[in-house]
């Protein structure tokens, strides 16, 4: 039996842990043409949830399009990604080659599809912009075409824009304003999702930004402990192995119900033993830390000494008042240095200001920092 746990993006057909309410809400809002801002820490199952919601919307008769703006480089790059998502979404409804089966494509002239055969025997869809159009004109023209498509569509239309906050890197706000101007006129439901939460939330809660107060805000919480325990026990059983509720609870507690780590930890544990004990869980947690160390080292290498000192300080003393004399003495930092470093760490979504004070977002990374420094 193959390992039942998956620690990359879950497919719509894969077993899902909880998220029933969030899934139901996303489908309801999407089918009603409402817009949602969905935010969570990195590797929290956000993309898996979006794709599952869109799969169910598709099954209910909607056109669905998914575009990822991660590290988008320019307005041309943004427009081409969006155009590619449109053609990929339409590809199952129309034939790009047979006359009489291309009516849906008549809305789109700014970009034309380009087809490349794959080694698996399929076809990869890319796009090419119409000559003589560039920059913001490309984006405006494409958005106008999407608007006409949604207006004439005989089905609901849903568009998910993942890592939406990365569009702020394209320019000083013009792209943001163009998108808002067109999207508010579209007869479609949108999800604007992202994992750099401070940046994303400010786009929708700052009254001076184009998207201010234009969506429903939805934040993914950690997985419910009891549901996660049952999920781990059930998948072990489906895979032909067993795990006690006590051991599954230990897994849940060690990763603080963090979705990515829950999947990876369970994957490693399933590979390690047929009926893992609590000692096996502790041993496997060491393997988990070892498997993630290169990722953590990459984060650390990108920090200044002051930023790293603050991060380590918050790992060792979570919830501390970062400007208190006690914390500054323990970390050997100045108040001014802390404030500047805190802004950077917060923008990168490495730390967040919770009810008890500033804490690291990633609980397993916190454990690694405490051990390493």
- Rounded to two decimals, the pTM is 0.92
The mean pLDDT value for 199-228 works out to 97
pLDDT of residue 102: 59
Structural domains of the chain ordered from first start: 20-219 (3.40.50.300), 225-299 (1.10.8.60), 303-372 (1.10.10.10)
The mean pLDDT value for 229-256 works out to 97
pLDDT of residue 95: 60
Read off φ and ψ for residue 320, nearest 5 degrees.
-70, 150
Mean pLDDT for the chain? 93
In this predicted structure, which of 87-96, 107-116, 178-187, 233-242 has the lowest mean pLDDT?
87-96
pLDDT of residue 289: 97
Question: pLDDT, tens digit, for every residue of 325-359?
Answer: 999 999 999 999 999 999 999 999 999 998 888 99
Percent of the chain exceeding pLDDT 70 equals: 97
pLDDT of residue 359: 95
């Amino acid at each position: 039996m193959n390992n039942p746990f998956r620690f990359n993006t879950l497919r719509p057909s894969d077993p899902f842990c909880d998220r029933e309410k969030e899934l139901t809400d996303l489908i309801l809002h999407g089918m009603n043409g409402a817009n949602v801002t969905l935010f969570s820490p990195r590797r929290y199952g956000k993309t898996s949830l979006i794709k599952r919601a869109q799969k169910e919307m598709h099954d209910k008769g909607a056109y669905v399009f998914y575009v990822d703006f991660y590290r988008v480089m320019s307005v041309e790059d943004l427009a081409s990604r969006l155009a590619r998502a449109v053609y990929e979404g339409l590809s199952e409804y129309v034939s790009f080659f047979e006359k009489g089966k291309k009516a849906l494509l008549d809305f789109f002239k700014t970009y034309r599809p380009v087809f490349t055969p794959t080694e698996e025997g399929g076809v990869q869809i890319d796009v090419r912009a119409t000559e003589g159009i560039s920059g913001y004109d490309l984006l405006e023209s494409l958005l106008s075409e999407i608007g006409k498509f949604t207006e004439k569509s005989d089905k609901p239309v849903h568009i998910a824009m993942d890592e939406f906050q990365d569009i702020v890197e394209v320019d000083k706000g013009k792209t943001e304003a163009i998108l808002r101007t067109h999207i508010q006129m579209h007869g479609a439901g949108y999800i604007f999702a992202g994992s750099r939460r401070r940046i994303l939330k400010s786009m929708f809660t700052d009254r001076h930004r184009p998207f201010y107060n234009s969506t429903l805000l939805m934040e993914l919480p950690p997985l419910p402990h009891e549901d996660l325990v049952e999920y781990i026990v059930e998948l072990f059983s489906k895979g032909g192995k067993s795990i006690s509720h006590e051991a599954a609870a230990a897994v849940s507690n060690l990763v603080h119900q963090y979705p990515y780590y829950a999947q990876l930890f369970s994957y490693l544990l399933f590979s390690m033993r047929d009926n893992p004990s609590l000692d096996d869980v502790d041993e496997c947690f060491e393997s988990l830390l070892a498997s993630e160390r290169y990722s953590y080292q990459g984060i650390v290498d990108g920090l200044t000494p002051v930023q790293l000192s603050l991060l380590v300080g918050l790992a060792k003393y979570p919830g501390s008042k970062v400007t208190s004399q006690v914390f500054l003495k323990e970390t050997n930092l100045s108040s001014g240095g802390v404030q500047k470093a805190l802004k950077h760490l917060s923008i990168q979504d490495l730390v967040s200001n919770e009810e008890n004070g500033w804490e690291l977002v990633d609980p397993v990374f916190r454990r690694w920092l405490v051990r390493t420094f």
